């Protein structure tokens, strides 16, 4: 169904990289400890969730356009 989109592998690698750059640019001192991996994991999961929602919206809009277009053929 959504196999026409070929961005899964790209975003599986790109979102953690963007998150790492975000941490580097945002914080002047990154402390070691348990909070860093936990906040990094939470931020990365939020990035995946946002990406997935946008991806579903694009798919829905694409499907809606195709359905409206085929209705005009009848």
Cα distance between residue 74 and residue 68, in whole Å? 11
Query: What global pTM score does this model have?
Result: 0.70
- Cβ atoms 40, 19 nearer than 8 A: yes
Rounded average pLDDT per 10-residue block, the chain, 74 residues: 67 90 86 87 94 86 66 50
pLDDT at residue number 28: 83
- Parse the chain into domains and list their residue ranges: 7-27+45-74
- Rounded to a whole number of angstroms, the CA Rg of the chain reads 18
Sign of the dihedral through C-alpha 21, 26, 28, 30: negative
């Amino acid at each position: 169904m959504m196999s026409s989109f070929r961005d899964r592998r790209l975003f599986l690698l790109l979102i953690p990289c963007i998150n790492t750059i975000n941490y580097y640019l945002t914080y002047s001192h990154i402390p070691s400890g348990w909070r860093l991996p936990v906040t990094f994991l939470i931020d990365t999961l939020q990035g995946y969730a946002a990406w997935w929602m946008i991806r579903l919206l694009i798919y829905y809009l694409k499907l809606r356009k195709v359905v409206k277009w085929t209705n005009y053929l009848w």
